[in-house]
Amino acid sequence: MKRALLLVVEDDQEMRRVLSLALQGQGFDVKEAASGAEALRLIRTRAPDAAILDLGLPDVDGIELIASIRAEHQLPIIVLSARTDEQAQIRALDNGANDFVTKPFRERELLARVRVALRKPLPFGSADGSITLGDLRIDSATRRVFVGSEEVKLTRTEFELLDALARKAGQVVTHGQLLLAVWGADHVHEIHYLRVYVKLLRKKLEIEPTKPKRLLTALGVGYRLVAATR
């Protein structure tokens, strides 16, 4: 089986070494870049399967690098940064990052995020118009939702919120992105709408709504829909 190639973009040499060793130890091939320019050169030479990048690079802000990568490639991008403010996380995600992990980080958590980023939900956007994530199937054409063989009845707004999350399965979708997609531009600051409807969705889709395994919270940033079993 072909090994996934990961690109680590980090200007701190010791951190690059630690990351590379951890990833190689899990069976990944790794390329390293110490700057944004080097990262773009490597990506254009051979696009990796995913990139892990710091925001504090010597030649370009990491958020600008994310936008540059996203303009040319759809590879998953995981930000690994010491920036903990919500605005930085939101800007990174809005510019095309798939996930955001803060330093200091737990190696097992980062590796789990990498595996999720590399996982391609199948069949995603299949010929029959359905999206499948584990035992969850969302039929956009008929607006029907199934968990296993059981149909789950959703309201119009519940379905549109779930559909917006499913179309970026495995990625963190920001509050603003979800509010714009479901409620429109006039309501992009009404985060309480999301809290209410996420709670309703969890009641219908999770075994334990207070301990969700399918519809996950990215604290202060947004939500992420992942494959899970009931």
% of the chain beyond a pLDDT of 90: 48
Distance (Å, rounded) from C-alpha 65 to C-alpha 73?
A: 12
Q: What is the pLDDT of residues 129-157, one digit of tens each?
A: 678 888 898 987 788 899 988 999 998 88
Q: Higher model confidence: residue 123 or residue 56?
A: 56
Please, which residues have CB within 8 angstroms of residue 186's CB and are 6 or more apart in sequence? Answer: none
Overall residue count recorded for the chain in this entry: 230
Distance (Å, rounded) from C-alpha 159 to C-alpha 112?
A: 28
Question: In this structure, how many other beta carbons lie within 10 angstroms of the beta carbon of residue 188?
Answer: 15
- The packing angle between helices 175-182 and 191-205, to 10°, is 80
> In the chain, what are the domains?
5-118 (3.40.50.2300), 130-225 (1.10.10.10)
pTM of the model: 0.62
Looking at residue 173, its amino acid is V
